[in-house]
Amino acid sequence: MSSYKYDDTGELGQEHGFSGNFEFSEKSIRLGFIRKVYAILSVQLVITLGFITLFLYQENVKAFSMSPAGQSMMIASMVITLVAIIVLACCENMRRKAPYNFIILGIFTLCESWMLGCIASHYQKWEVLAAVGIVAAITLALTLFALQTKWDFTAMGGALLVVLVVLLVFGIMAIFMQNKVVSLVYSSLGALVFGLYLVFDTQLMLGGKHKYSISPEEYIFAALNLYLDIINMFIYILAIFGNSRQ
């Protein structure tokens, strides 16, 4: 999920590496940037899938995750991922300067993968595998849609932010209501919202004809955005399976 700052002209602020004048004037620069982003994203997803597989098929790992030490690691991972996101989102120098940006992203990915493994261990194997397959298919379909559609989702950042806030409020309500139907609706809406964010972040990365684009120097930030969109879809789709089973 991304955070963007607009200047007085309505353009995305240069402070965060965005520009309305399309810095990707040369096709080779844009294609090189896209290849780098997807290479980083692929490594992140492979690591995450490895952790999930480990939790699904190694009972001792699953048992450790449910122990007091495992729960402590879960809490520590949550804190570390939050700090890493804040650093990468707010500190331009850190997210652009190698190797610090790769180190922070690597730590974030490992902690996030541990948390996803813990979450996946509470579901049946077929549910997790089905969720992985569904997310892979949706990600491919939405990426192709973002490439082909004439709709410019980069101009809808404000609307998507409002929808996200509504989703968060709905999620808080769902916790207190403890209703299967409400939880199922919430999970479905969550998957939909992050699917829209995937299209939004993909078009930001592509630049070109779209109203806003992300700077070629922001390959770490672009990969982080896409990764967060995909794993959030995975979490919500898993929740759909869980709510349907109850």
Question: At residue 116, does pLDDT exceed 50?
Answer: yes
Sorted by where each begins, the domain ranges of the chain are: 14-245
Query: In the prediction, which pLDDT does 209 show?
Result: 65
pTM: 0.85
For residues 112 and 78, give the distance between their C-alpha atoms in angstroms, rounded to a whole number: 8
Position with higher pLDDT, 9 vs 140: 140
Give the phi and the psi of residue 237 in degrees, each rounded to 5. -70, -40
Residue 14: pLDDT band (50, 70, 90) is very low
Over residues 125-177, the pLDDT tens digits come to 999 999 999 999 999 999 999 888 888 888 888 899 999 999 999 999 988 88
Question: At residue 208, does pLDDT exceed 70?
Answer: no
Query: In the prediction, which pLDDT does 32 show?
Result: 86
Query: In the prediction, which pLDDT does 2 show?
Result: 44
Q: How does the average pLDDT of the chain come out, rounded?
A: 85
| Range with the largest mean pLDDT of 22-31, 38-47, 61-70 | 38-47
DSSP string, the chain: -----B-TTSSBPGGGTEETT-S--SHHHHHHHHHHHHHHHHHHHHHHHHHHHHHHH-HHHHHHHTSHHHHHHHHHHHHHHHHHHHHHHH-HHHHHSTTHHHHHHHHHHHHHHHHHHHHHTTS-HHHHHHHHHHHHHHHHHHHHHHHH-S--GGGGHHHHHHHHHHHHHHHHHHHHH--HHHHHHHHHHHHHHHHHHHHHHHHHHH-TTSS-EE-GGGHHHHHHHHHHHHHHHHHHHHHHHHHHH-
Give the phi and the psi of residue 124 in degrees, each rounded to 5. -70, 155
